Amino acid sequence: MIGSHLCDYLLARGHEVICLDNLVTGRLANLTASLAHPRFCFVQHDVILELPPFPRLDHVYHLASPASPPGYTRVPIETLRVNGEGTRRLLELTHRHGARMLYSSTSQTYGDPLEHPQSEEYRGNVSCTGPRSMYDEAKRYGEALTVAYVRHHGVDARVVRIFNTYGPRSDPEDGRLVVNLITQALRRRPMTVYGNGTQTRSLCYVTDLVDGLVRAMDAPGTKGEVINLGSPEEHTVLEFAQMLREMTGSDSELLFTEPAVGDDPHVRCPEIRKARALLGWEPQIGVREGFLRTIDYFRAELGVTPAPAVPHPASDGNRPGEPDPGPSTPRSSAPAPAGRRPAPGRPSPP
């Protein structure tokens, strides 16, 4: 998903782009426009395996990895290997070509954080054997490998910790928050909210993220750096669900369930001071604008025609005993920006 937008961006800036993907979670249809471009080449290949020969490379963006909880739960060993062996292969390739590399890590390296918002200095609260460990620990190892190649071989590489990013071209069955909520709303099925929905997320629109990735690759002074990229606008999951239900005009009920995969982080919000200072980067697309574009994409993808806005029933199908969202989170209305709120049951930021 992110990689296909990166291809568009790089082609539009005049680059030649070779995209290598084994399609384990990706979809070739996302590259339809790029495939017609004379400066684009697609190679179906697994980066865990020996790499094919390449012409001289300037930049290597390593985005290959299952990224959604259902994705990495389905292929846990491959997830560990692509961030371990795959990262080593791409670092060696970068070294041989005297190129630059960007390793795409994740906010999941902070685990279920005890510090909020999460700055690059925070070392995280991650389980090395928990249900998400194949992803979280794989990315932590990928980071360690990347900085080892910088220090030991002088490779010009950097690490970007990506926070939740969404947008068109996500797989409708991907299972991540925004995709789930939009596709469920458009299909008029119950919208799944894990727990009581008070956990927070900060959602970045994909073109903003791609702009940040390219800046992190190109900007001077980024060699060996670890940089957070994500939106600092934080909301509860319940607020996102209500906003998306209203924006899709859906009459879906909200269904409160246990998380699909354990160790769901209670809070997630990036500290992006470093990205601002080093890259001059700031997300430009507000959450409503990003949601509108993504809803339009999924309407076309699912063949759903726009529905007239509907009044929502008083009951949202809360589980018995589940707390009512209460007056501070009115049903069916857009949430006010949450700012940096302390996490429920978590230490407040200093």
Ligand X SMILES: NC(=O)c1ccc[n+]([C@@H]2O[C@H](COP(=O)([O-])OP(=O)(O)OC[C@H]3O[C@@H](n4cnc5c(N)ncnc54)[C@H](O)[C@@H]3O)[C@@H](O)[C@H]2O)c1
Does 23 help bind ligand X (rule: CB under 6 A)?
Answer: yes
26 binds ligand X (CB under 6 A): yes
Residue of 24, 93, 334, 338 that binds ligand X (CB under 6 A): 24
Of 34, 87, 94, 106, which one interacts with ligand X (CB under 6 A)? 106
Q: Is 135 a catalytic residue?
A: yes
**102 in helix, strand or coil?**
strand
Closest distance to ligand X from the beta carbon of 328 (Å): 27
Choice among 61, 110, 135, 205 that is catalytic: 135
Is position 41 an interface residue for ligand X (rule: CB under 6 A)? no
Return the range that interacts with ligand X (CB under 6 A); candidates 63-71, 114-122, 143-151, 215-223. Answer: 63-71
Is 307 near ligand X (CB under 6 A)? no
Number of amino acids touching ligand X (CB under 6 A): 24
* Pick from 196, 165, 192: nearest CA to 290: 165
For ligand X, the binding residues in 165-194 under the rule CB under 6 A are 165
Residue in the structure block whose two tokens are 């509860």:
236
Considering only 10, 17, 19, 25, the residue that binds ligand X (CB under 6 A) is 25
User: Is 65 a residue that touches ligand X (CB under 6 A)?
Assistant: yes
Whether the CB-CB separation of 249 and 236 falls below 8 Å is answered with no
67 or 316: CB nearest ligand X: 67
| Spatial distance between the Cα atoms of 183 and 79, rounded to a whole number of angstroms | 26
Residue least distant from ligand X (Cβ): 26
Selected range binding ligand X among 16-24, 126-134, 268-276, 323-331, rule: CB under 6 A: 16-24
| Omega of the bond leading into 76 within 30 degrees of 0 (cis) | no
Question: Which of residues 87, 94, 146, 164 is near ligand X by CB under 6 A?
Answer: 164
18 phi, psi to nearest 5 deg: -110, 120
In the set 34, 87, 94, 104, which binds ligand X (CB under 6 A)? 104
Residues facing residue 201 across a β-bridge: 235
Calculate the alpha carbon distances from 288 to 59, 124, 198, 225, 243 in Å: 33, 30, 20, 32, 8
Residue 248 contacts ligand X per CB under 6 A: no
Which is closer to ligand X, CB of 87 or CB of 192? 87
Termini Cα distance of the chain: 36
For the chain, what is the radius of gyration of the CA atoms?
A: 20
Give the DSSP per-residue string, 271-334: --HHHHHHH-----S-HHHHHHHHHHHHHHHHT-PPPPP-PPPS---PPTTPPP--TTS-TTSP
Choose the stretch contacting ligand X; rule: CB under 6 A; options: 43-51, 143-151, 294-302, 329-337: 43-51
Binding piece for ligand X, criterion CB under 6 A, among 123-131, 161-169, 236-244, 259-267: 161-169
Distances (CA, A) of 6 to 18, 140, 197: 11, 23, 32
Q: Which residues pair with 257 in a beta bridge?
A: 194
Binds ligand X by CB under 6 A, chosen from 9, 11, 16, 22: 22
Residue nearer to ligand X on the CB measure, 164 or 200? 164
Residue 46 in the binding site for ligand X (CB under 6 A): yes
The alpha carbon dihedral of 94, 95, 98, 101 has a sign of: positive
Binding range to ligand X, per CB under 6 A, among 22-30, 144-152, 292-300, 316-324: 22-30
**Cα 215 to Cα 280: distance, rounded to the nearest angstrom:** 8
Q: Which residues bind ligand X (CB under 6 A)?
A: 1-3, 21-26, 46-48, 63-67, 82, 86, 104, 106, 162, 164-165
Give the active site residues.
135
